[in-house]
């Protein structure tokens, strides 16, 4: 199987999307004869991306959600595919959607949209991997990520053989669908005492945005 992968994270090679894709592609390459081409959407010529899409046989589009919204570069890429809508020889397509919120529920709306997008493009829809709680995955200890990476590897392995995402693995990867009462209470407590803001404040400072964190530029 020949696979074309589009990474839609604005962070490019240093993204969490890249980390998850690494495990999917390791599993995918377990099948003899499989090959893939990986392209990063950020700072890439749109016409070149559309041409890659046009010439592909199988596609995975992977991207993060930022407060339930896909990145602007992914929206722009999708808009650029309009001339391909309804073509008879369009590739099969699957999606990987990851976000910081731990509940899969936050990503279900974009999942429904992506399934409709596949139909509009006349692409065979092979499924959508939903995974929340990914923002801090790079700093998690190994025992916390072992199962996650294993599931992504197995899903890639099965996809490499069947051309579809395994439904049971999709369910395992997506958990939890909703936060338990205990976890909701913990997050409420962490927010109250400031624990919930430590990581995000660090990110804001690293990007020189900490002092502007309460700005409201659209309020007159």
The answer to whether 53 and 61 have CB atoms below 8 angstroms apart is no
pLDDT over threshold 90, residue 23: yes
**N- to C-terminal Cα distance for the chain?**
55
Average pLDDT over residues 6-34: 97
pLDDT at res. 142: 86
Average pLDDT over residues 177-191: 71
The percent of residues above 70 in pLDDT, for the chain, comes to 95
pLDDT at res. 220: 67
Nearest to 128 by CA among 95, 104, 152, 103: 95
Lateral strand order in the sheet of 2-7 = 35-40, 2-7, 58-65, 92-99, 125-131
pLDDT at res. 88: 92
Average pLDDT over residues 212-220: 81
Q: What is the mean pLDDT of the chain?
A: 91
* Tens digit of each residue's pLDDT (9 = 90 or more) over 185-205: 766 766 777 766 777 778 778
The answer to whether 4 and 37 have CB atoms below 8 angstroms apart is yes
pLDDT at res. 138: 82
* Tens digit of each residue's pLDDT (9 = 90 or more) over 61-110: 999 998 878 999 999 999 999 999 999 999 999 999 999 888 898 899 99
Can you give the three-state secondary structure of 96-113, one letter per residue? EEEECCCCHHHHHHHHHH
Average pLDDT over residues 123-141: 90
pLDDT over threshold 80, residue 180: no
Provide the CB-side half-sphere exposure for 211 (13 A, CA).
1
Provide the 3-class DSSP secondary structure of residue 132.
Answer: coil
The percent of residues above 90 in pLDDT, for the chain, comes to 68
The beta strand positions in the chain, using DSSP E, are 2-7, 35-40, 58-65, 92-99, 125-131
Grade residue 26 by pLDDT with cuts at 50, 70 and 90.
Answer: very high
Average pLDDT over residues 40-46: 93
pLDDT at res. 202: 80
CA distances from 218 to 72, 159, 210, 215 (A): 19, 45, 18, 9
Tokens, residue 219? 């309020």
pLDDT at res. 201: 76
Phi, psi angle pair for 114, to nearest 5°: -65, -35
Grade residue 126 by pLDDT with cuts at 50, 70 and 90.
Answer: very high
d(CA 28, CA 133): 24
For the question of whether the overall pTM of this predicted structure is more than 0.75, the answer is yes
pLDDT over threshold 90, residue 6: yes
Mention every residue, 6+ apart, whose C-beta is less than 8 A from residue 90.
84, 121, 122, 123
């Amino acid at each position: 199987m020949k696979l074309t992968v589009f990474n839609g994270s604005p962070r490019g090679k240093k993204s969490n999307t890249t980390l998850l894709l690494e495990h999917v592609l390791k599993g995918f390459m377990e099948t003899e004869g499989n090959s893939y081409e990986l392209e990063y959407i950020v700072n890439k010529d749109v016409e070149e991306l559309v041409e890659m899409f046009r010439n592909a046989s199988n596609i995975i589009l992977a991207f993060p959600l930022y407060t339930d919204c896909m990145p602007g570069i992914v929206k722009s890429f999708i808009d650029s595919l309009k001339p391909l809508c309804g073509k008879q020889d369009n590739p099969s397509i699957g999606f990987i959607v990851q976000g910081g919120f731990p509940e899969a529920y936050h990503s279900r709306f974009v999942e429904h949209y992506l399934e409709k997008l596949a139909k509009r493009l006349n692409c065979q829809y092979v499924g959508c991997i939903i995974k929340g709680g990914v923002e801090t995955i790079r700093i998690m200890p190994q025992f916390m990520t072992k199962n996650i990476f294993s599931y992504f590897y197995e899903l890639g392995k099965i996809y490499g053989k069947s051309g579809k995402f395994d439904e049971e693995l999709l369910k395992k990867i997506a958990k939890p669908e909703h936060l338990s009462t205990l976890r909701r209470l913990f997050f409420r407590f962490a927010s109250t005492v400031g624990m919930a803001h430590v990581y995000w404040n660090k990110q804001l400072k690293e990007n020189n945005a900490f002092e502007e964190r309460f700005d409201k530029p659209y309020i007159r």
